[in-house]
Structures are given as structure tokens and as C-alpha cells.
Copies of this chain bind each other. A is one copy, B any other.
Amino acid sequence: MKQIAIVGLGIIGGSFAKALANRLPGRYKVSAIDINQDTLDEAKKLGFIEKGETTNKSILQNADIVIIALYPNLVTEFVVTHQEDFKEGALIVETSGIKKSIMQELLPLIPEQVEFIFGHPMAGRESQGFAFADDRVFLHANYVITPSDKNKAASIEFFSQLLKDLGFGRITISSPKTHDLMIAYTSQLTHLIAAALINSDSTGQNTVEFIGDSFRELTRIAKMNEKLWSELMLNNREPLLEVIESFEKQLANLKQAILTNDKEALEQEFIHSTQKRLALESADQAHEFAKERGK
């Protein structure tokens, strides 16, 4: 039986472990490396992994597929430290939320005997750790693969199929540069907006009495892992600053229409936003499945 090693049993690694156990029972032997022994014990007790090690002893040597789900800044060190330990012909999956910087750093260091697949599961939870890992977040979710020139087409195809078997919806092939720009817009900017919105509460009132679901939804992701998000954003500054400015301009347009009492301009902006949202919904098969993802 082929073996899969998961490195880091947080939200992403933990969700992979749970998805493998729940959706592909018996297909792989799954092990995990995590610095927290309690997490490993828990994952083993619940039947999500067969074996756990706090530092690699024999897991990497036996793994046909390694899924690395560490903080981005820890990935390179992990690979360099363990370059002799990877099994000949292993597929190493790297999952961090930015791609250009990590690929530039890692590509020259990849051990000869393995193949790396860089990519990003567009799925998560606002809470951290194995207890909050949940394979439902993968259901119909997007996954972006950013191939390098060292990838074999067959490996990308094999891994794409595995992702679909684990519940993912759309698998997109992208350049790292495009990925990073898009993620700056769809994910990093949205987190900045949520933080700015909740931090801007200067009303001095008991805000909770005056909220509806729009405020609840727009601030859900204001609860975030500050270390991870700072790292992701500061490794992606150029595209992030670009999309922040683009957003600021649009908000300034709306503000100007309000300032000048320009009803027609305001209505036009809202007609435009409505059209864009409707277009997004009709293109987004995952839209209908938010509840299945527990959102």
C-alpha cells in the first residue's frame, strides 16, 4: 500500500488527514510528523493516522507522497534538513498560501530524487489547530497548482485526481505570479478589510445590538492567526499593495458619490457590483455548497 506522510497537523494538514480517512479509507497508509505529541496521539486515537513522529525517524523514508502543511517560512528549512530522508521518486506537495517567493527559494534546493508539486488549497478555517481541521472545507473548493519546469505532466494529473477524490472542486493551473496577485486580491485583501472594519469601531456603543448578518459575515475572518497572515502578506507585498490601492480607489468613488449626493452614480456602482457578483455566482459551482463546508 502506498504511504502518505503529512507534515504539520494544523488546519490544512489535519484536514488532509481527515479527508484521506473519511473519503479514501484504506487506499493509503497515512502517517504524520508534528511537533506536538498530543496532536499526534489524538489523530492516531481517532484513526486519522497510523503512525506519528515529532521529528522524522522513518516516516519520510517510507512515504510515496509527502504533504507539507507548515508555516511558509518553515518549509525551506524542513526540506533542507530532510533532503537525504525523502524516498526515491517521492512526490512532495507544498501547500502554502503564496507561491512566487517560496518557489524561488526552494526550487534550487529540491533533492534530485523527488518531485515537488507547489500549490494552494483555497480552503481554511478562521480557527487554528488540528481540533478545527475539517475535511468538509475541501468540498467543491478551489485548488491552484503552480507547476515548475521540473514537473511531469503525469504527476500533476495524478495529484489533481487525488485532490478531486478528496473533495476539491476546481483544480486550476496557474503561474506563481498570477496566483500571488489573485490571492492578494481574493484572500489577503479580504482579511485586511475584515480587520480594518472591526478595528474601526469607534462608535462607543454596544455594537452587538446593532448588527445583522452582513456585519457578522464581513468580520468572521477578522479572527485570524496573526503570525501566519503577517508572514503570508509580507511575503507578497507588491501585489498586495496594488490590490489595496485598487480597492481604496473604488471606495473613494463611492464616498465621493455620497459626499456629493450623487444618487445616479451610487446606483450605477451598485448595479455594477450586483452584476459582478451574479456573474461570480453563476461561474462558481462551489457557491451552493457553503453549508456543506460548514460556512
Q: Which residues on A are within 8 Å of B, measured CB to CB?
A: 122-124, 137, 141-142, 144, 170, 172, 174, 178-179, 181-183, 185-187, 189-203, 205-224, 226-227, 229-231, 233-234, 237, 240-241, 243-244, 246-251, 253-255, 258-259, 261, 263, 266-274, 276-278, 280-281, 283-284, 286-287, 290-291, 293, 295
Contacts and interface: CB of A to CB of B under 8 A. Distances in A.
Contact of A207 (B185, B263, B273, B291): B185
B211 A284 contact: yes
A222 B122 contact: no
Contacts of A227: 267
B192 A254 contact: yes
Given A251-B192, A251-B248, A273-B224, A212 B187 contact: yes
B207 A214 contact: no
A65 to B, nearest CB: 23
Contact of A216 (B248, B250, B290): B290
Contacts of A231: 263
Given A170-B209, A222-B273, A237-B259, A250 B196 contact: yes
Given A208-B284, A218-B193, A223 B278 contact: yes
Contacts of A124: 212
Interface centre among A137, A187, A241, A270 (most CB of B within 10 A): A270
